[in-house]
Structure 1
């Protein structure tokens, strides 16, 4: 077993930690090694381990980093420099959540996938971190007990195995605040979970304190369940809806597309923009169009032919 250390690689590790401003504990899993191994390697004390194998992992990590950086630099002129690109839908979602916060009660934000609903919610949370509780529901979070645990953790409420105690602690934490609870992918919530959170939007009958805003975001199932065949079961929920808003891919505008793909707009690439607009208004939505464009950028061909070919390769059509 070799006891020789690659001093240049060790220096690169040190430079990486300095440039990223991250701790050794955070860097180690990124590099695919243990914190102990990284610590010993940095001090040239990894003599009981396989130095060659460890350095091979580090070289692979830095090689991948270089390739990712090169890809990012190549794509930079073709992509927006903004983290958030305002579109008519995402901006409307953000405003609707603000309405929910101010007016209390529940709002239902639903519609087609990949059109900016989550982006609008993320913008609201970034701008209002103290007033927002954002949760992305999954099938496992959809039960009452699990939802209470996730909300409690977000509110820094001590978790309890007793659902009643946990619910009371959450209500106490929320009362008198201007918080808004935003639950994305809300179609995963089970009826008991929905019934519980709707109570958070109600005023306290004893203190008179108003409830908080509840914004449910998801596909149309989350709203259809309340007004369809099971309307009687959801009557209490339905009566508390202050507003519901349906968003379709058909509502994506040409101005939205220009904002999403500024390089094409700057270069007057009308044909390319029209093609991507078609994808945006199809079942693939904005997300599909962005994926096609990004892959075409990586393929170094954002012409109409390049976009069309990439869409075909990805199995994305305009239907």
Structure 2
């Protein structure tokens, strides 16, 4: 019996493009994601995506269709992975952080959360924002440690795209936006902030009656107090209603992550504890599990698979 000749379709061919567009439209019709989110994931404007999907794009759609093809293939690879990434895990530490964030927002207070990298602070902040109204997160950095840049970053987070760049007018528009919002402003990596910026944020919190949370590494509390309770920092220090230090990954957190990933073997749990004790803690552990899920066969993450994934991540450091 003669084998049929299989002709690969060219990415620029009409049949190829029609097939890709039909698959994408089927995904959108399933309501598993929005067209706006898809446009963001493939890096085109929503208007461009809409025109291509409706075959009304005025230019050659080949480049956009190629992006859609790559997106579909990645989606299929994720679907083919039998192990489901549970996403955010509400660990014991995450519960404590969530409680602190709630306290700050409800009581309109200043809270400081500081500790080692990789205990789950930033992930919990993002999860809290997803689940609550009027929560804004700004991440400080060396380039955003000064007063004007920090305020402008906050203005962007508040949706004030046309905010002025001079600190006086900028402070006023931010203050007007926050007043009576019953919101919560979170400054992550707050150890980067200088003293004038900290003072401006303190005054902003008082004038608008919002909650404010400063988070960062173990230096953040020292930064907020000037290393000691001196007169320069007394006004800020006296207004810190609550502080929490998180200095290591809890064993209960690792067990919660294992349960979420449906891992129960003693050897696997022991290895997870060992990984969580390395620099990066839960962040490194989660990266290891995500890579392990790609290597696992039969829907099971074993010690051997975890070691392979961890070794590969370690070699890339």
The two structures have a TM-score, normalised by structure 2, of: 0.78
Q: 1:166 to 1:268 in 2, by over 3 A?
A: closer
Structure 2: distance between partners of 1:314 and 1:298: 13
Q: Is the 8 A contact 2:226 2:233 kept in 1?
A: no
Corresponding residue for residue 70 of structure 1? 77
Q: How do residues 206-225 of structure 1 correspond to structure 2 at under 5 angstroms? A: 211-225=209-223
Structure 2: distance between partners of 1:91 and 1:230: 30
Tell which deviates more after alignment, 285-294 or 64-73.
64-73
Aligned residues: CA RMSD: 3.5
Q: 1:247 to 1:41 in 2, by over 3 A?
A: closer
Cα deviation, residue 25, structure 1: 11
Corresponding residue for residue 129 of structure 1? 133
Structure 1: distance between partners of 2:46 and 2:89: 38
Q: Is the 8 A contact 1:114 1:285 kept in 2?
A: yes
Structure 2: distance between partners of 1:212 and 1:34: 35
Q: 1:31 to 1:126 in 2, by over 3 A?
A: closer
Q: Equivalent residue of 1:113, what SS?
A: coil
Corresponding residue for residue 88 of structure 1? 92
2:14 to 6, 19, 26: 6
Corresponding residue for residue 255 of structure 2? 258
Q: Equivalent residue of 1:114, what SS?
A: coil
Cα deviation, residue 229, structure 1: 4.3
Q: Which runs of 5+ in 2 are unaligned?
A: 1-9
Corresponding residue for residue 188 of structure 1? 192
Q: Is the 8 A contact 1:133 1:181 kept in 2?
A: yes
Q: Equivalent residue of 1:90, what SS?
A: helix
Cα deviation, residue 190, structure 1: 2.5
Q: How do residues 1-319 of structure 1 correspond to structure 2 at under 5 angstroms? A: 5-17=13-25, 19-20=27-28, 27=39, 30=42, 39=51, 43=55, 54=62, 58-59=65-66, 61-63=68-70, 65-77=72-84, 79-80=85-86, 83-130=87-134, 132-157=135-160, 159-202=163-206, 204=207, 211-227=209-225, 229=227, 232=230, 233-249=232-248, 251-253=249-251, 255-262=252-259, 266=262, 268-300=264-296, 302-315=301-314
Structure 2: distance between partners of 1:36 and 1:61: 12
Q: Is the 8 A contact 1:24 1:38 kept in 2?
A: no
Tell which deviates more after alignment, 225-234 or 18-27.
18-27
Q: Equivalent residue of 1:161, what SS?
A: coil
Q: Is the 8 A contact 1:275 1:304 kept in 2?
A: yes
Corresponding residue for residue 207 of structure 1? none
